[in-house]
């Protein structure tokens, strides 16, 4: 079991935790509960992520498009990062033309929960040990079935 500790400053996070700490709950207990809710949301959103990616080619494009992109506070512009990536790599992409455009549209239509789940899965994928093959690594992180 991991021990996780952090301090909040007088900013938004501290206020959000304090507002939710009721009936004798500590801010730490609230943070633990909310983190568990968040990870459950990520897991439950992966079906929407897989539908948006449309398969291995879409997953690869998104993973490469998000390489080095900072998504800590704002996961909304994933579709824009992918559109830029497709424009920059052009014919060298796994998806070109209408297929790439369709991927961008599906990503733009994702819910905020699915966007967060996608950002998390891609970040984990980039930090994984290399898989025996590409599909195995994508499958390990739930990006493809």
pLDDT at 74: 64
Q: Which residue has the tokens 């830029």?
A: 84
> For the chain, what are the domain ranges?
47-140
Whole-angstrom distance, CA of residue 122 vs CA of residue 81: 13
Whole-angstrom distance, CA of residue 113 vs CA of residue 45: 6
pLDDT at 8: 79
Contact between 138 and 56 under an 8 Å Cβ cutoff? The reply is: yes
**pLDDT of the chain, 145 residues: tens digit per residue:** 888 887 877 678 888 888 898 888 888 899 999 999 999 999 999 999 999 999 999 999 999 999 877 766 666 689 999 999 999 988 677 777 899 999 999 999 999 999 999 999 999 999 988 778 899 999 999 999 9
Please state the pTM of the whole predicted model: 0.88
Question: What values do phi and psi take at 75, rounded to 5?
Answer: -95, 5
Burial zone of 129 (CB within 10 Å; 0-12 exposed, 13-18 middle, 19+ buried): exposed
Please report which residue ranges of 21-133 form alpha helices under DSSP H. Answer: 27-53, 56-65, 78-89, 98-108, 112-127
């Amino acid at each position: 079991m991991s021990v996780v500790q952090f301090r909040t400053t007088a900013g938004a996070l501290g206020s959000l935790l304090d507002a939710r700490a009721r009936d004798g709950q500590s801010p730490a207990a609230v943070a633990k509960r909310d983190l568990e809710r968040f990870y459950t949301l990520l897991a439950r959103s992966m079906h929407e992520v897989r539908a948006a990616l449309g398969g291995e080619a879409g997953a690869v494009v998104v993973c490469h498009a998000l390489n080095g992109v900072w998504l800590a506070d704002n996961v909304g512009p994933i579709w824009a990062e992918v559109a830029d990536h497709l424009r920059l790599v052009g014919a060298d992409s796994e998806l070109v033309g209408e297929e790439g455009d369709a991927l961008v549209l599906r990503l733009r239509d994702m819910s905020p929960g699915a966007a967060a789940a996608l950002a998390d899965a891609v970040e984990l994928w980039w930090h994984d040990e290399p898989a025996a093959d590409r599909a195995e690594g994508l499958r390990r992180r739930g990006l493809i079935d």
